[in-house]
Amino acid sequence: MANFFPRIEPFSGLAICERYRRPGPTNCTFRRLVSGSTGSIKGREETSMITALIITFILLVLFRFEIALAIGLAAMTAIVFFSDIKLVVIIQRLVVGIDSFEFLAIPLFILAGNLMNAGGITDRIFSLARALIGHVRGGLGHANVIASMIFAGMSGSAVADVGGLGAIEIKAMNDQGYPKEFSAGITVASAIVGPVIPPSIPMVLYGGLAEVSVGRLFMGGIVPGVLVGLSLMILVYFLSIKNNYPKDEKVSITEFMNRFFRSFFPILTPIIILGGIIGGIFTPTEAAAVAVVYAFILSFFVYKELKINQLPKIFVESMVTTAITTFIMSTTSSFSYLLILGNFSQNILELLTSITMNKYFM
Kindly give the confidence (pLDDT) of every residue in the chain, 362 residues in length, as a single tens digit, with 9 standing for 90 and above: 444 444 444 444 444 444 444 444 333 433 333 333 333 334 556 677 888 888 989 999 999 888 888 988 888 888 888 777 777 877 888 887 788 788 888 889 889 888 988 888 888 988 899 898 888 888 899 999 999 898 888 877 777 777 778 888 888 888 888 998 999 899 988 988 888 888 888 888 788 777 788 888 888 888 999 999 999 999 999 999 999 998 888 888 999 999 999 989 988 888 888 888 888 888 888 888 999 999 999 999 999 899 999 999 999 999 998 888 888 888 888 888 888 777 777 777 777 777 777 666 65
Distance CA 73, CA 333 (A): 13
**pTM of the entire predicted model:** 0.74
Same structural domain, 175 and 287? yes
Q: Which long-range contacts (CB under 8 A, 24 or more apart) does 172-178 make?
A: 172/126, 172/130, 172/140, 173/140, 173/141, 173/144, 176/140, 176/246, 177/246, 178/140, 178/141, 178/245, 178/246
Q: What is the DSSP letter of 162?
A: I
How far, in Å, CA of 99 to CA of 92, rounded?
A: 11
Q: Is residue 81 part of a domain?
A: yes
Residues 182 and 282 placed together within one structural domain of the fold: yes
Nearest to 219 by CA among 191, 202, 198, 204: 198
Q: Do 289 and 207 reside in the same domain of the chain?
A: yes
> Does one domain contain both 127 and 268?
yes
What letter does residue 310 receive in the DSSP assignment?
G
Cα separation, 281 vs 283, whole angstroms: 7
93 is a domain residue: no
DSSP 3-state of 85: strand
- Please give the residue range of the domain that contains residue 43: 13-85+326-347
Check whether residue 138 and residue 274 sit in a common domain: yes
Rounded Cα distance between 259 and 28, Å, is: 68
Identify whether residues 59 and 120 lie together within a single domain.
no
The span from the CA of 120 to the CA of 250, in Å, is: 24
Same domain for 172 and 287, yes or no, is yes
Instruction: Please indicate, yes or no, whether residues 49 and 124 belong to a single structural domain of this protein.
Output: no
User: Do 177 and 253 share a domain, yes or no?
Assistant: yes
Query: Does a structural domain hold residue 217?
Result: yes
Domain match, 61 and 128 both: no
Tally of domains in the chain: 2
Q: H/E element holding 326?
A: helix 311-341
* Cα 34 to Cα 30, 37, 94, 135, 351, distances in angstroms: 9, 7, 21, 62, 20
Closest CA to 336 of 241, 217, 206, 240: 206
Tell me the CA distances in angstroms from 159 to 113, 170, 194, one per residue in order.
9, 15, 9
